[in-house]
Amino acid sequence: MDYTTAFPKSVCMSFLMLFAIGNITFATAQTKESKRRISSEYSARNLSSVSAKFVKEFDAKQIKLNAYAKANGLKLSEKLATGEDVSLVDIGEDGTPLYYSTFSDNTSAISRANTLYEGGLLDLGLSGTGMQVGVWDSGAALPTHQEFNSRATIADEASIISDHATMVLGTMISSGIKSKAKGVAYNATAVTNDWSADKVEVTAAAADGLLLSNHSYGIQPNNVPDWYFGAYIQVSQDWDEIMYNAPYYLMVTAAGNAQSLKYNDTPIYGKNSDGFDLLLGFSTSKNGINVAAVDTNVDNDGNLKDAEVATYSSLGPIDDGRIKPDIAGCGANIYSSEATDNSSYDTYTGTSMAAPGITSTMLLLQEYYSKLNSTFMKAATLKGLVLHSADDVNEKGPDYKMGWGVINAKNAAEIITNDEFTSIIAEESLAEGENYTFTVDAKDNETLLASISWTDPAGTYINKGELNNTTAALVNDLDIRITDENNNEYFPWKLNAKVAGADATKGDNLVDPFEKIEIENASGTYTITVSHKGSITNDIQNFSLIVSNVSLTACTAEAPEEIGIASVDETSIMVDWKATEDSFYEVEYKEENSEEWTTLFPEENMVQLEGLTLGKAYEVQVRTNCSMNIFSDFSMVKSFVFNGLDTDLAFELTKEELAIQKELKYTVYPNPTVEQISVNGELSENAYYSIISSSGTVLKNGKVDNEAIEVNSLSSGLYSLTIFEDGEQHSMKFIKN
């Protein structure tokens, strides 16, 4: 069965219907109600079963570990001379003692999270307010540290306060009492826990609506047999099972710092000195995000200038060829809170620092999505968005060093903003035997990007001792393909573990629960198809689809013109304006001295203003909506006195309009624009300009001359160009596509 979906050229009616029922208050945080809505979508029976299994396993394991430690004269936990915290956490299937160890050896700028703050390049006003994140570590973070402002809570009665956990949490939520220690999501709250019962506690927290947790630790790599590296083992399966049964929950893990330590003498590729095949334990799970550390720099416009994986950051692949690590973030010389006392700090380096930077950046993306959509993204959507929008570095496509590249929150947020305008974010499902198909028009000569991401059922094959076994952990093998008007077929990226140092190729990906297709210099209409191979376990597979650099509407976000009164009756008037293509409109009107506007959302270029009172003066303004997030400024306010059938059919010009008509000296072109703008009009040597966002933030300024003004670093949207000359100022609107 085919599901054929043509994404409409007109605006989605669902948004119009949303507003038709009255004023909407968007949820912008993880309230009790939002957590309840998330939990209500889960199978309480399945999660309860998973939790009971982990509790039983944990109780039995504690007896086993205590006996093993006593018999072998070992400590259950200790701090090494290197500063790492280690704990005996399990005995492997082959009898190997498994230890967890911490991975310790400007985050928001590298991730571009700073572009999301108030006054940042996108000026979205995000800071993590009302959002909650979980941290599991060698102990609890110091909750009384001055940077946390009572926003950190020990959730599991952990008896040990950990320097490492305090550092990790500081990277995420420090308020910035010391400015260089400011966390990425500096107004968020957190629950902090030790790692001893991590699976049990995370299952309960996820069932209660937790969206993200950070785990900057893993199996200690220096005392395990080589077959463990890259293997899908029991703990890998356990975490995949948690995420599959709680599909809004996403686990973030650190890759580790073993690249140059030669721990794996028989890697699936190369020599031990090459640093490949070093990921262990839950880092080999399918459904989470595993984070590499990167050495890089970013300019003031948020552009990545260069990037290399850090020399300590552990490399993939997974033995079945999956792309791990997934993403890279800053891990070098991070100044953060420390647990010596409530006002202590230190500087840290390692993937332990890169992971919380990624976790808290994704928390901001969830905050933004919720702000616009009154719901949160599923974990597969959030993961897919981050991998889809990452900065690809070095050779094209992913690699086993830093996965899909360096996280770029600015790109991700712009995809959210432009949903239903130049991008698509959709959460869909595929039943056995079905295809999901739709067509899109590419934005000419840009790179068309399309990806699918899904939370896969836990793998059925568990490695119990076989070196470099390539059995795929993937259960439901979904596929994305794109065909153009000439029936050329485009395939997703893939890697081969056997040649881990080689560049990515394009073809049929058989192992990854994320697939991404890129078509450079795209032009025309393309058909995107999502299908599957074999059978679908559990009958249906949910997936998340993200597409960017497409043209879903011919609408341009320009304020309506030629606003007038079309007709009048005894209690209302019909207002109309010049129609624009593929648009709907937002109309506000009120009595002249009132502070409250009445809002209407007509599909056509006219609307009836009802309930008017004879002899009263009214004001009306109109703006164009291209999608729920893309809209123009309001038109100039038009005023009229309602006199029933005697109402003048021509609007009066406002004082502001008269002034503008008299003083307009300049125009800006091209408008809309992509790369640059120029000013048309006679300019003196003393003329200066400012570019101002819709929220009033000055983003760029300089002297006006005969040279064009570069605007390619601005995100898509509506801006004001203001000219200052000889004590006067003149403002013009322009659209950046």
By percentage, how much of the chain surpasses pLDDT 90? Answer: 60
> What sign results for the dihedral spanned by CA atoms 410, 413, 419, 421?
negative
Beta sheet of 77-79, edge-to-edge order:
77-79, 85-91, 97-102, 217-219
| The pLDDT value given to residue 21 | 29
Q: Is 519 left (phi over 0), alpha (psi -120 to 50) or beta?
A: beta
Q: Where are the domains of the chain?
A: 2-550, 564-658, 664-736
More confident residue, 297 or 79: 297
- One DSSP character per residue, 625-662 reads ESSSS-B-PPPPPEEEE--GGG--SSPBPPHHHHHHHH
Name the 3-class secondary structure at 596: coil
Asked if residue 368 has pLDDT above 90, the reply is yes
| The pLDDT value given to residue 15 | 29
Residues in the chain: 737
CA angle 51–53–59, rounded 5-degree value: 100
Distance, in Å, from the CA atom of 213 to the CA atom of 169, rounded to the nearest integer, reads 11
Q: Residue 18: what are its φ and ψ, rounded to 5°? A: -60, -45
More confident residue, 536 or 44: 536
Residue 704: which of 733, 719, 674, 726 has the closest Cα?
Answer: 726
pLDDT tens digits, 466-506: 999 999 999 999 999 999 999 999 999 999 999 999 999 99
| The pLDDT value given to residue 26 | 39
Homologous superfamily of 564-658 in CATH?
Immunoglobulins (2.60.40.10)
Cβ contacts of 120 within 8 Å, gap of 6 or more: 114
Fold of the CATH domain 2-550 = Rossmann fold (3.40.50)
More confident residue, 159 or 275: 275
Q: How confident is the model at residue 6 (pLDDT cuts 50, 70, 90)?
A: very low
Q: What is this structure's pTM?
A: 0.82
Distance, in Å, from the CA atom of 495 to the CA atom of 493, rounded to the nearest integer, reads 7
Of 2-16, 206-220, 703-717, the range with the lowest mean pLDDT is 2-16
pLDDT tens digits, 661-674: 444 567 777 877 88
Asked if residue 17 has pLDDT above 70, the reply is no
Using the CB atoms, write b or e for 151-160: b if 16+ within 10 Å: bbebbbebeb
**What proportions of the chain, in percent to the nearest 5, are helix, strand and coil?**
20, 30, 45
| The pLDDT value given to residue 518 | 98
pLDDT tens digits, 426-472: 999 999 999 999 999 999 889 999 999 999 999 999 999 999 999 99
> Which range scores top for mean pLDDT: 73-82, 294-303, 348-357?
348-357
- Please give the average per-residue pLDDT across 121-130, as a whole number: 92
| The pLDDT value given to residue 658 | 41
- Please give the average per-residue pLDDT across 269-281, as a whole number: 96
| The pLDDT value given to residue 674 | 85
Asked if residue 68 has pLDDT above 80, the reply is no
| The pLDDT value given to residue 108 | 65
| The pLDDT value given to residue 177 | 95
Asked if residue 85 has pLDDT above 80, the reply is no
> Which range scores top for mean pLDDT: 40-44, 539-543, 646-650?
539-543
Asked if residue 276 has pLDDT above 60, the reply is yes
Name the 3-class secondary structure at 319: coil
What's the chain's Rg over C-alpha atoms?
A: 28
| The pLDDT value given to residue 84 | 66
Asked if residue 324 has pLDDT above 90, the reply is yes
Distance, in Å, from the CA atom of 546 to the CA atom of 92, rounded to the nearest integer, reads 39
pLDDT tens digits, 692-720: 887 678 888 888 877 889 888 888 877 88
Fold of the CATH domain 664-736 = Immunoglobulin-like (2.60.40)
Residue 106: which of 163, 166, 176, 165 has the closest Cα?
Answer: 176
Asked if residue 3 has pLDDT above 80, the reply is no
Of 35-39, 99-103, 118-122, the range with the lowest mean pLDDT is 99-103
| The pLDDT value given to residue 635 | 92
| The pLDDT value given to residue 698 | 82
More confident residue, 381 or 686: 381
- Please give the average per-residue pLDDT across 557-577, as a whole number: 90
- One DSSP character per residue, 412-439 reads HHHHHHTBTTTEEEEEEEEETT-EEEEE
Other CB atoms within 10 A of residue 671 CB: 16
By percentage, how much of the chain surpasses pLDDT 70? Answer: 92
- Parallel, antiparallel, or unpaired: how do β-strands 132-137 and 212-215 relate? parallel
Mean pLDDT of the chain: 88
Question: Side-chain half-sphere of 626: how many Cα atoms within 13 Å?
Answer: 27
Query: Is 564-658's fold the same as 664-736's?
Result: yes
